Amino acid sequence: MKKLIRPIPVVIIIVLMFSSITYGYVHISTGMPTTSFIVENRSSYSSIFNNSIAAWNNTDTSVELTKAKSDNYVITGQYDDTWYGVYKPSLKYIFWGPATKFVIQLNRSQLVGKSDNFWQSVLVHEFGHALSLGDNPPESPSIMRYDRDRESMITPQQDDIDGVNAYYNN
């Protein structure tokens, strides 16, 4: 009797092989198609919004975030969840593709009493998603890591800059 190869171990081996050749940064396919887009501040936190935009615009990338009325916007709200911020893209195709627009929600329920630096770290991180960066790049200092110090890491790090440049071929 012939022994059949089970597909699950084969899939696991392929995934492990692929994961060993990934880059130091993680990309998502739901970021914006370019590094230049307009973002509207619909929150009451102007200085945090302005500083977060400047944090990305002042990097060695082609990022150019412009503040104006837009379908891309940042809002704050009271949400019954444990996240600080969330990036919600509207995708080009129903379930995939680059974003055509996005909303970034900042969760006041979790951010109340936190410093401006903490808020900025969260918003710069969410803008990173709009720039096609994923969460938790392996073993690197990055604004995209969940375990970063949100009081001191408030700007994109070299790994984040390299990730944006690689994704957008800058």
* Reported pTM: 0.84
Q: Which amino acid is at 101?
A: K
Domain 27-167 of CATH type 3.40.390.10: yes
**Of 9-18, 34-43, 94-103, 111-120, which range is least confident?**
9-18
Of 94, 85, 167, 90, give the one whose Cα is nearest residue 133.
167
pLDDT digits (tens, 9 = 90+) for 8-51: 555 444 444 443 333 457 889 899 999 999 999 999 999 999 99
List phi, psi (to 5°) of 63. -65, 130
pLDDT-wise least confident of 13-22, 55-64, 123-132, 150-159 = 13-22
Asked if residue 86 lies in contact with residue 125, where contact means CB atoms within 8 angstroms, the answer is no
